[in-house]
Amino acid sequence: MTGKQIRQSLAFSLFGIITVIVVAFLFVILGFIVIKGFRVISWEFLTAMPKEGMTGGGIFPAIIGTACLVIGSMVFAFPIGVLSGIYIHEYLKDSWFKRFLRMMTNNLAGIPSIVFGLFGMALFVNYLKFGDSILAGSLTLGLLVLPVVIRTTEEALKSVDNSLRTGSLALGATKLQTIRKVVLPVAFPNIITGLILSIGRVSGETAPILFTVAAYFLPKLPTSIFDQVMALPYHLYVLATSGTDMEAARPMAYGTALVLIIIVLLINFLASYLRKYLGKKVKMN
């Protein structure tokens, strides 16, 4: 082997080893949580209220709470994010305004989530007087993922071949007809993928719900959007840091972590499945 080839093999071996290490860490984390957590997982754990100072019973209200927050934040963020993405990508010509909007959405994505939490508390909880509620929490989480939804919508639209747009316009279609009938159906699978990935993000966030909705201990289910709820990530935080008997609650914490991880992983698998499935379907119609 020449020097060049040796350097190449060395370089690629190094890249390979690094990649394996990264993936290995993921498996270590998953394995750790699974080993520590699977023993407490039972039907009761998933469907019962917590009891005995959260050292026993289950996490049902936290699961329901997280589901409420996911749905609430998506109802808010999905339409607004998709419409903004369409406006930015399809309607705005290249100008300082477009660059400014892009920059601001990127900046919005970079703001620490605890800041969203504070802002949500100030605006939704106090100023608009929603109180600690599903509504306030959902709006705060919605704001947090808005830039994600806008960016994925833009990326999805960017991947639509421009010749489809010109082809449609050349037949006398308006821009709106072109977007509705040609561009969006093609971009849809990727937009949905973005939506699902942001659901994963929302279900795992703790800081934005800390001051806006999450309850420390609330063994009953919400009846309106102005109720407080427990939520999985915050429940995990509480179990790990501030229970009445933290040692006894430790297995419950691992169980909660496992449930949270499984939910997020399932959501990610669903996203990649839907992208493939819908992608095929679009071509057929």
Partner 1 sequence: MIKAEAKNINFYYGDYHALKDISLSFPEKTVTALIGPSGCGKSTFLRLFNRMNDLIGNIKLEGEVLVDNTDIYAKSTRIDLLRKKVGMVFQKPNPFPKSIFENVAYGMRVNGIRDNNYIEEIVIRSLKQAVLWEEVKDKLKKSAFELSGGQQQRLCIARALAVEPTLILMDEPASALDPISTAKIEELIHELKKDYTIMIVTHNLQQAGRVSDFTAFFYLGELIEINETKKMFINPAKEKTQNYITGRFG
When the beta carbons of 19 and 174 are compared against partner 1, the nearer one is 174
CA distance 68 to 256: 17
Q: Which of 163, 223, 224, 241 binds partner 1 (CB under 8 A)?
A: 163
Is residue 96 within the footprint of partner 1 (CB under 8 A)? Answer: no
Residues in contact with partner 1, shown as a per-residue x/- string from 212 to 241 under the rule CB under 8 A: ------------------------------
- Using CB under 8 A, which residues numbered 23 to 52 contact partner 1? none
The distance of closest approach from Cβ of residue 48 to partner 1 in the complex, given in angstroms and rounded to an integer, is 49
Q: What is the DSSP letter of 41?
A: -
Q: Please give the C-alpha separations between residue 73 and each of 115, 119, 134, 145, 208, in angstroms, as whole numbers.
A: 17, 16, 9, 8, 12
Tokens of 217: 């201990």
Smaller CB separation from partner 1, 26 or 170: 170
Give which of 145, 11, 128, 151 is closest to 77, Cα–Cα. Answer: 145
Contact 225, 133 (CB under 8 A): yes
C-alpha–C-alpha distance, residues 197 and 271, integer Å: 7
73 in Cβ contact with 202 (< 8 Å)? yes
**Maximum C-alpha span of the chain:** 73
Selected binder of partner 1 within 177, 218, 246, 270 (CB under 8 A): 177
- 161 near partner 1 (CB under 8 A): yes
Binds partner 1 (CB under 8 A): choice among 34, 169, 221, 264: 169
List 99, 111, 167, 273, residue binding partner 1 (CB under 8 A): 167
**Of the candidates 127, 172, 223, 247, which one interacts with partner 1 according to CB under 8 A?**
172
Q: Closest by alpha carbon to 106, among 166, 70, 155?
A: 155
- Nearer Cβ to partner 1 (163/241): 163
Residue nearer to partner 1 on the CB measure, 51 or 280: 280
Of 182, 221, 248, 264, which one interacts with partner 1 (CB under 8 A)?
A: 182
* Cross-strand partners of 214: 229
Which of 236, 148, 238, 159 shows the shortest CA–CA distance to 199?
148
Stretch that binds partner 1, among 148-156, 172-180, 220-228, 229-237 (CB under 8 A): 172-180
Tokens at 135, concatenated: 């509504």
Q: Which is nearer to partner 1, 21 or 171 (CB)?
A: 171
Residue that is written with structure tokens 């998953």 in the block: 30
Binding site for partner 1 (CB under 8 A): 93-94, 161, 163-164, 166-174, 177, 181-182, 185-186, 282-285
